[in-house]
C-alpha cells in the first residue's frame, strides 16, 4: 500500500503468524482523539487500535503524546473530541472506573505496590474476596497461584512473600499479574523493563508474550527498540501528537526504521507525509 | 487460546497442576525442622517482629529474678505486675492503630484520662451502663477529632496530637478540678483491675482458651491447600497449653501474705479482659477488609488510593478506633486506683503507651505491627519499674550505692529500652531491599 499525498498514516491489516487473532474486530478502538492542555495540542486526530492476542508497541520520543494517549484510554484524561469502540460497540470512558469496568488495566512505571503486604494481598488489594464477612485467604491464595502459573511465572518462591523481599522484575510480575487477574481484555504497560537488568527484562518480555498468547490485547510503551522488535506484533509510532505509523512488525523491520519514525515522524514509505506542521 | 475475549484462563485445570509445580517451594514445611528453618529464615530476612521484646522479657525476668528471687518471683508480684501492665497495654493497642498508618498519637494517655474522668464523674449521678456509654462516646469523639484534623485538614499527626496533649489535659483539669480527684464506688469498674476470677472460672477460662486455639488451628489446617503438619500444630497448642496451665496453677494458689484475713486466688480479671481485646482486634486487623486496607494505607498510601481504597476514610476510622481503645485504657487506669485525678493518663503513661507498641515490634514507619506487640512491649515497660523497685538500693562496684527503685533509674531504663527498640526497627527496615 502506497501512502499517497495527504494521507498522514498507514494502517495495514494485522497479520499474525500464530493465527490467534483471526478476529479482525479490535478489542478497543480510539478514533479521532484530540486533546489540548491550554494552548498545547497534545493529541492530533489520533486513531489507535488494540487487537486481541496482539502486542502493540507504542513508541515515540518524550513529549510525543504516548502517556497522554494512555491516560485518555485509561479514563484519567477526557479527550476534547473523539470516540471509543469496544469490540465494535461505541463506548464512553468517563473515568478510571469505566475503563476498568470494560477491562482496561494500566501498569504504571511506579508499580504502586504495598511493600509491607505479601503477593496475594497486593494482587487482591481493593478487590478482596470476602466469605461470610471475612477475608477468604485460601480462595485468594489459590487464585493468585493459578494466575501466576498461567503467566508462566517461575521465579517467585512463595505467593506469601512480602513484596519488600522481591526483586524489581518480580515486582513488575506482580503488578502485571494484578492487571490480568480480573479477566481484563486490554493491558497497557508503561515502560515495564526500564529499570530492569538483562535476565529480568527477558522474564518480563516473556510475560508480555504470554499475555498476548492468552488472548489479551497488550500495549507496550518502550524506548528500547530491541525489546520492541523482539516482542511486538505491531508498532504504533507517535510524533508530535500524531500517530504517524501503525505497522506490523516483520523480519524486515529494523531498529533504524523505528528510530527514524520516532525522531522525524517518517521513514521511507512509512509515516507522515508532512512530518512537521 | 482461541477465545480472545475472555482474558486469561485462570480457572482451567491446567493451571491447577502448573501451580503445584511452579510453586513447589511455596510450602516447604512438612515437619518440625522445616517449621524451625522457615522461622529462622524469616528472622534473617529482617522480619524480627516481636523477637526483641521476647528476648528483653527473658533477660529482664532472669536479672530481676536473680537479684531478688523471693519477692520478684512470687505469685503476688506476678499478679501485681500483670495489673500494672494492663492499662499501658490497652493504651498501647490504641496507639498501634495510629502507628500502623505511619502516624502517631502522643495524646492517647490524655484521651484515656478524659474518658476515665467522664466515667468517674458520670458514675456519681448515673447508673453504670449510661456512664460507660458516655465515656466511650467521648473517647470516640476525641479520636474522630484527631482523625479529622489529620486526614481531612491535613495537619501532621505529630502536631495535632501535641496540641491534643494540651487540649485534653485542659479538659481533664476542668472535669476533675485542679488538685481534686473523683472516687469510683461502682463495683464493676473497681473490679476490672484488682479483682480475680474464682478458681473454677480461672480453669474454665484457660480450658476454653486453649481449646479454641486448637480448634482454630485445625480449621485453618482443613481449609489450607497444603496443610501444616500435625507435629507443628501439636507443639503450638502444647506450648500455649503448658504456659497457660503453669501461670494458672501459680495464680489459683493462695498468694495472700500469711497473716492476711482472706485468701487471694484466681486469675486477675485483667487477663481475660486484655486477651478478649487482643483477639477481637486481631480478627479486625487480619480477617477483615478494613484491616487489610489499614495495612495498605500504612504501607503505601498512593498504592492504596490507586487500588480504589478511600484513604481518608480509613485514616478517620483508625484514629476513631484509637480514641475508643484509649478510652477503654482509661477505664483500666481508673480501676487500678479506684479514682481519677488530673494526672490520670498523664506523665509516664502517656509516653509508655507509645513506647510499648514500638518496643513490641510495631514499626514507627507504618504498615507493620500486631496487637500482640503492644502486649509484649507493655510487659517489658511494666517489668522495668516493677523489677527495679524490688531490687531496691544496692552497692555496685565503681558506681557506689545505687537506688534502683528511684524514678530516675526507672525513667533512664525505660528510655534506653525505647531507643534500643526503635534502633532495631530502623535497622531491620534498612536490611530489607
Nearest to B25 among A103, A127, A157 (CB): A157
Helix (H, G, I), strand (E, B) or coil at A107: strand
Nearest to B22 among A20, A149, A185 (CB): A149
> CB of B110 within 8 A of CB of B346?
yes
Other C-beta atoms lying within 10 Å of the C-beta of residue A45: 15
Helix (H, G, I), strand (E, B) or coil at B75: helix
The secondary structure of B250-268 as a DSSP string is HHHS--S-TT-SS---S-B
- Say if A156 is an interface residue toward chain B (CB within 8 Å): yes
All three cell numbers of A101: 469496568
Among A35-44, A124-133, A153-162, name the one with the lowest average pLDDT: A153-162
Please name the residues between 129 and 148 in chain A that touch chain B, using a CB distance below 8 Å: 130, 133-135, 138, 141-143, 145-148
Nearest CA in chain B to A150: B15
Is the pLDDT at A3 greater than 80? The verdict is no
B4 and A183: CB-CB below 8 Å?
Answer: no
pLDDT of res. B431: 56
Q: What is the ipTM of this complex?
A: 0.81
CA distance A65 to chain B (A): 23
- Say if A41 is an interface residue toward chain B (CB within 8 Å): no
Residue B345 exposure: Cα atoms within 13 Å on the Cβ side: 34
CA distance B296 to chain A (A): 6
- Tens-digit pLDDT profile for chain B (433 aa)? 333 333 333 333 333 333 333 444 454 566 677 777 777 766 665 566 778 888 889 998 999 888 888 888 888 889 988 998 999 999 999 999 999 999 999 999 999 999 999 999 999 999 999 999 999 999 999 999 999 999 999 999 999 999 999 999 999 999 998 778 899 888 888 889 988 889 999 999 999 999 999 998 888 887 766 677 888 888 889 999 999 999 999 898 888 888 878 888 889 999 999 999 999 999 999 999 999 999 999 999 988 988 888 999 999 999 999 999 999 999 999 998 888 988 888 877 878 888 899 888 888 888 999 999 999 999 998 998 888 888 888 888 878 888 888 888 888 888 888 888 888 878 876 655 4
Question: How many whole angstroms separate alpha carbon A60 and alpha carbon A265?
Answer: 9
Average pLDDT, integer, range A172-190 = 86
The secondary structure of B375-433 as a DSSP string is HHHHHHHHHHHHHHHHH-EEEETTTEEEETTSHHHHHHHHHHHHHHHHHHHHHHHHH--
Question: How many whole angstroms separate alpha carbon A137 and alpha carbon A139?
Answer: 6
CA distance A216 to chain B (A): 5
Phi and psi torsions of B111, nearest 5°: -60, -45
Q: Are strands A54-60 and A242-248 parallel, antiparallel or unpaired?
A: unpaired
- C-alpha angle with apex B178: B173 to B91, nearest 5 degrees? 40
A273: buried, middle or exposed (CB in 10 Å: 19+, 13-18, 0-12)?
middle
Query: CA of A126: how far to CAs of A103, A161, B294, B310, B390, in Å?
Result: 16, 19, 11, 9, 52
Question: How many whole angstroms separate alpha carbon B110 and alpha carbon B236?
Answer: 39
Q: Per residue in A78-97, pLDDT tens?
A: 899 999 998 888 988 888 77
Question: How many whole angstroms separate alpha carbon B309 and alpha carbon B305?
Answer: 5
B26 and A160: CB-CB below 8 Å?
Answer: yes
Q: Are strands A54-60 and A234-239 parallel, antiparallel or unpaired?
A: parallel
> CB of B384 within 8 A of CB of B410?
yes
Q: What is the average pLDDT score of chain A?
A: 82
Nearest to B9 among A20, A142, A150 (CB): A150
Instruction: Give the mutation candidate from B26, B291, B303 for the A interface (greatest A CB count, under 10 A).
Output: B303
Residue A10 exposure: Cα atoms within 13 Å on the Cβ side: 23
B5 and A87: CB-CB below 8 Å?
Answer: yes
pLDDT of res. B101: 95
Instruction: State the greatest distance between any 2 C-alpha atoms of chain B, in Å, as a whole number.
Output: 88
Q: Are strands A266-267 and A242-248 parallel, antiparallel or unpaired?
A: unpaired
Phi and psi torsions of B297, nearest 5°: -65, -40
Strand residues in B268-373 grouped as ranges (E): 339-340
Question: How many whole angstroms separate alpha carbon B335 and alpha carbon B191?
Answer: 7
Q: Per residue in B91-115, pLDDT tens?
A: 999 999 999 999 999 999 999 999 9
pLDDT of res. B6: 37
Is the pLDDT at A2 greater than 50? The verdict is no
pLDDT of res. A14: 41
CB-CB neighbors (< 8 A) of A158 in chain B: 23, 25-27
pLDDT of res. A13: 38
Q: Per residue in B198-240, pLDDT tens?
A: 999 999 999 999 999 999 888 888 776 667 788 888 888 999 9
> CB of B318 within 8 A of CB of B98?
yes
- Say if A165 is an interface residue toward chain B (CB within 8 Å): yes
Question: How many whole angstroms separate alpha carbon A178 and alpha carbon B134?
Answer: 46
> CB of A81 within 8 A of CB of A72?
no
Helix (H, G, I), strand (E, B) or coil at A75: coil
Place of cell 470476602: A130
Nearest Cα to Cα of residue B288 among A131, A237, A152 = A131
Report the residue count for chain A: 277
B407: buried, middle or exposed (CB in 10 Å: 19+, 13-18, 0-12)?
exposed
Average pLDDT, integer, range A222-235 = 90
Amino acid at each position: 500500500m502506497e501512502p499517497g499525498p495527504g494521507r498522514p498514516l498507514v494502517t495495514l491489516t494485522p497479520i499474525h503468524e500464530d493465527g490467534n487473532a483471526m478476529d479482525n474486530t479490535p478489542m478497543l478502538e480510539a478514533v479521532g482523539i484530540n486533546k489540548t492542555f491550554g494552548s498545547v495540542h497534545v493529541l492530533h486526530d489520533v486513531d489507535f487500535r488494540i487487537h486481541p492476542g496482539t502486542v502493540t508497541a507504542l513508541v515515540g520520543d518524550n513529549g510525543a503524546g504516548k502517556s497522554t494517549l494512555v491516560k485518555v484510554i485509561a479514563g484519567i484524561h477526557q479527550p476534547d473530541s473523539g470516540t471509543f469502540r469496544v469490540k465494535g460497540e461505541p463506548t464512553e470512558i468517563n473515568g478510571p472506573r469505566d475503563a476498568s469496568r470494560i477491562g482496561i488495566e494500566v501498569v504504571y512505571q511506579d508499580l504502586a505496590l504495598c511493600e509491607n503486604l505479601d503477593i496475594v494481598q497486593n494482587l487482591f488489594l481493593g478487590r478482596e474476596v470476602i466469605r461470610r464477612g471475612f477475608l477468604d485467604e485460601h480462595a485468594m491464595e489459590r487464585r493468585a497461584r493459578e494466575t501466576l502459573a498461567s503467566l508462566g511465572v517461575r521465579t517467585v518462591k512463595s505467593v506469601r512473600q512480602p513484596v519488600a523481599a522481591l526483586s524489581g522484575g518480580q515486582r513488575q510480575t506482580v503488578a502485571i499479574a494484578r492487571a490480568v487477574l480480573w479477566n481484563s481484555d486490554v493491558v497497557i504497560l508503561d515502560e515495564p523493563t526500564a529499570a530492569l537488568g538483562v535476565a529480568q527484562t527477558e522474564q518480563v518480555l516473556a510475560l508480555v508474550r504470554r499475555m498476548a498468547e492468552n488472548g489479551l490485547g497488550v500495549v507496550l510503551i518502550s524506548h528500547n527498540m530491541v525489546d520492541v522488535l523482539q516482542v511486538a506484533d505491531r508498532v504504533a509510532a507517535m510524533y508530535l501528537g500524531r500517530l504517524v505509523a501503525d505497522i506490523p512488525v516483520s523480519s524486515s523491520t529494523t531498529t533504524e526504521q523505528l528510530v527514524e519514525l520516532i525522531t522525524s515522524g517518517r521513514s521511507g514509505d512509512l509515516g507522515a507525509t508532512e512530518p512537521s506542521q | 487460546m482461541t477465545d480472545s475475549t475472555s482474558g486469561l484462563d485462570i480457572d482451567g485445570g491446567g493451571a491447577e497442576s502448573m501451580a503445584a509445580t511452579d510453586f513447589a517451594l511455596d510450602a516447604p514445611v512438612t515437619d518440625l525442622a522445616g517449621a524451625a528453618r522457615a522461622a529462622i529464615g524469616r528472622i534473617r530476612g529482617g522480619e524480627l517482629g516481636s523477637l526483641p521484646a521476647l528476648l528483653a522479657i527473658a533477660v529482664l525476668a532472669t536479672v530481676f529474678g536473680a537479684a531478688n528471687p523471693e519477692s520478684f518471683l512470687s505469685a503476688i508480684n506476678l499478679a501485681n505486675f500483670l495489673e500494672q501492665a494492663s492499662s499501658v497495654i490497652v493504651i498501647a493497642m490504641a496507639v498501634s492503630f495510629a502507628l500502623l498508618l505511619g502516624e502517631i498519637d502522643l495524646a492517647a494517655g490524655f484521651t484515656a484520662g478524659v474518658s476515665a474522668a467522664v466515667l468517674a464523674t458520670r458514675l456519681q449521678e448515673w447508673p453504670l451502663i449510661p456512664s460507660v456509654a458516655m465515656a466511650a462516646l467521648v473517647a470516640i469523639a476525641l479520636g474522630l477529632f484527631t482523625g479529622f484534623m489529620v486526614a481531612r485538614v491535613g495537619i501532621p499527626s505529630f502536631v495535632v496530637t501535641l496540641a491534643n496533649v494540651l487540649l485534653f489535659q485542659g479538659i481533664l483539669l476542668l472535669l476533675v478540678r485542679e488538685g481534686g480527684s473523683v472516687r469510683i464506688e461502682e463495683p464493676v469498674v473497681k473490679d476490672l483491675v484488682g479483682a480475680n476470677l474464682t478458681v473454677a472460672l480461672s480453669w474454665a477460662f484457660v480450658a476454653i482458651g486453649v481449646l479454641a486455639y486448637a480448634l482454630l488451628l485445625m480449621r485453618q489446617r482443613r481449609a489450607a491447600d497444603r496443610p501444616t503438619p500435625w507435629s507443628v500444630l501439636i507443639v503450638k497448642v502444647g506450648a500455649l497449653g503448658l504456659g497457660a496451665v503453669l501461670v494458672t496453677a501459680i495464680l489459683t494458689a493462695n498468694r495472700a501474705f500469711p497473716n492476711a484475713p482472706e485468701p487471694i486466688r484466681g486469675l486477675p480479671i485483667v487477663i481475660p479482659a486484655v486477651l478478649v481485646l487482643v483477639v477481637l482486634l486481631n480478627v479486625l486487623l487480619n480477617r477483615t477488609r478494613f484491616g487489610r486496607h489499614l495495612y495498605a494505607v500504612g504501607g503505601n498510601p498512593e498504592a492504596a488510593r490507586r487500588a480504589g481504597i478511600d484513604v481518608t476514610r480509613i485514616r478517620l476510622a483508625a484514629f476513631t478506633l484509637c480514641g475508643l481503645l484509649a478510652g477503654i485504657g482509661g477505664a483500666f487506669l481508673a480501676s487500678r486506683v479506684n479514682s481519677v485525678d488530673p494526672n490520670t493518663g498523664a506523665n509516664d503513661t502517656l509516653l509508655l503507651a507509645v513506647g510499648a507498641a514500638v518496643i513490641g515490634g510495631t514499626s514507627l514507619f507504618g504498615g507493620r505491627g500486631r496487637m500482640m506487640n503492644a502486649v509484649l512491649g507493655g510487659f517489658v515497660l511494666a517489668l522495668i519499674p516493677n523489677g527495679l523497685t524490688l531490687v531496691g538500693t544496692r552497692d555496685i562496684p565503681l558506681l557506689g550505692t545505687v537506688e534502683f527503685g528511684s524514678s530516675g533509674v526507672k525513667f533512664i531504663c525505660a528510655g534506653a529500652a525505647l531507643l534500643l527498640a526503635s534502633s532495631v526497627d530502623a535497622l531491620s527496615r534498612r536490611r530489607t531491599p
